Structure 1
Amino acid sequence: MMRVAVVDDEPLARSGVIARLASCSDVMVDGEYADGPSALVGLEQRRPDLVFIDVQMPGMTGLEVLAALPPTCRPLAILLTAHDSFAVQAFALNAVDYLLKPVDELRFAEALERARRLLAWHAGGTAAQTPGGAVAEPAWPTRFSVRVGRRSLFVATADIDWIEADGDYVSLHADGRVYLLRESLHHLATRLDPACFVRIHRSTIVRVDRIAELQAQTNRDAMLRLHDGTPLRVSRTYIDTLLARLHGASS
């Protein structure tokens, strides 16, 4: 059972997150806080597995709460905000995800699934310690097996430029070719290394280092162009996470 806390100074926002979590049989809400100081005390005492936490709150921001917690007490965090200027700092605190209000249902489910995967990985005892004592990152898949006629081909993850949803499959665009993989885009998004791949649309994932150009649109959507010239649309739901990844890749 995953123990989750919810922190937001807006009662409707808190109740909205709790209502979504109520449909998850493997989740127990273990703490609800309306401000930063009470959240800091509660999180340190109760030590939940995951916290949904608002970034902007009076007195103490969500990021300040996370930064003030000792690393051993800091839960996985999914950041919630109505603003778009905190993503880079959020990922610097190893946040699982960053959701822009009003929260999209699919993005909420994707972020929660990523948290499940990380918690299962730690609980499974595969969180090996590095020589310096830090916990190593989970092993992301390095290749995918795809069927081409009667043959099984292996597509290296490093060769994938972008991925698009295709019914019950996804299309892997790699080295100028397209391969069908029987897996939903939603599930695949939780299995890819978030430092290398980022979702930019409900139907599209792109490899960050393949992005050559980004052009903002008037409706807060954007268009990006890959190094091979492929144009892809970025929806406003995903633009802030994309900007954070691009900022991190260039720093």
Structure 2
Amino acid sequence: MTALRVLVVDDEPLAREGVVARLAGRADFMVVGECANADDAARAIAELSPDVVFLDVRMPGVDGFGLLERLAPARRPHVVFLTAYDRFALRAFDAEAVDYLLKPIDDDRFARALERVRAARRSAELEAKESGGVEYPARFAVRVGRRVVVAHVSDIDWIEAIGDYCGLHTASKVHLLREPLHALEGRLDPRVFMRVHRSTIVRIDRVADLRAATNRDAVARLHDGTVLKVSRTYSEGLRKVLAR
């Protein structure tokens, strides 16, 4: 594995120095930059394309979570949060952080965080290899009013076309993504999602059974009880996939 490119973001110079010092001498990590605020960090991420960001939660202006919301999901590096407050832990993992380190940083705990970063990188490389080098998004940034909410692909049961939007149906809510269905279909892993109607895409492993309907159409029932129409164009393909 080539050296992981690291960006350190913290408004406290001593905190940045501590991370940089702990990474010194580790051949598989290379510090490519340091930033003291979210604005500079956003520019550095765009210019330097780091693999890993050690990111302070509380900074003047935009905080660490706000920085992540500015980044396109496909361009987000692995994140290890740094903070003096443990109350942000749940939110950090909701943001899919690799790890969460409390200040002052313990050396052994820091070493374990690096192992988690290495494991996350190996997993990402394996997924890319298995998909033929194609990287499919793991999350979508969905705007809700003035907020940006993250919708995780793993939570999506099915997707419907709603004009110029797509409705991403999860167990708890429907997220509206401003993207036409045909465009979104091209960005989804075909081993996981399948078009079943001109206005519907379904997550294959959410399908509980498939029943024949009139005119060679079919009806798919999901594990949560949702019933979706499957047009004749796609019904045979879905049957074969489910049979496998």
1:37-186 matched pairs, under 5 angstroms: 37-125=39-127, 128=130, 133-135=136-138
Asked whether 1:31 is paired with 2:33, we answer yes
- Indicate the residue corresponding to 1:141 in structure 2: none
Letter in 1 for 2:115: E
Letter in 2 for 1:11: P
TM-score, with normalisation over the residues of structure 2? Answer: 0.51
Q: Percent identity?
A: 48
Give the residue type in structure 2 aligned to 1:81. T
Task: State the match for 1:16 in structure 2.
Answer: 18
Letter in 2 for 1:58: P
What letter corresponds to residue 22 of structure 2 in structure 1?
Answer: R
**Bigger-Rg structure (1/2):** 2
What whole-Å deviation, never above 9, does each CA across 1:23-50 have from its counterpart, x for those lacking one?
A: 2111110111011110011112221110
Q: State the structure with bigger RCO (CA 8 A, min sep 6), 1 or 2.
A: 1
For structure 2, list consecutive stretches of 5 or more residues without a partner in the other structure. Answer: 140-244
CA distance in 2 between counterparts of 1:4 and 1:35 reads 16
Moved runs in structure 1, 4+ residues, more than 6 A?
none
Cα deviation code 1:51-74 (max 9, x no counterpart): 101000001101111121111111
C-alpha distance after superposition, 1:220-249 (max 9, x if no partner)? xxxxxxxxxxxxxxxxxxxxxxxxxxxxxx
Distance in 2 between residues matched to 1:35 and 1:74, nearest whole Å: 17
Q: TM-score, normalised by structure 1?
A: 0.50
Determine helix, strand or coil for the equivalent of 2:8.
strand
CA distance in structure 1 between the aligned counterparts of 2:91 and 2:27, rounded to whole angstroms:
32
Change (3 A) 1:91 1:125: closer
Shift of 1:123: 2.2
Letter in 2 for 1:8: D
With over 3 angstroms needed to count, the CA separation of the structure-2 counterparts of 1:37 and 1:93, relative to structure 1, is same
Aligned to 1:171: none
AA at the equivalent of 2:124? H
Show the counterpart of 1:3.
5
Q: Are the counterparts in 2 of residues 67 and 93 from structure 1 also a CA contact under 8 Å?
A: no
Q: How many residues end up aligned between the 2 structures?
A: 134
Q: How big is each residue's C-alpha offset from its partner over 1:204-225, in whole Å with a ceiling of 9 and x where there is no partner?
A: xxxxxxxxxxxxxxxxxxxxxx
CA RMSD of aligned residues (A): 2.1
Distance 1:128 1:94 in 2: 22
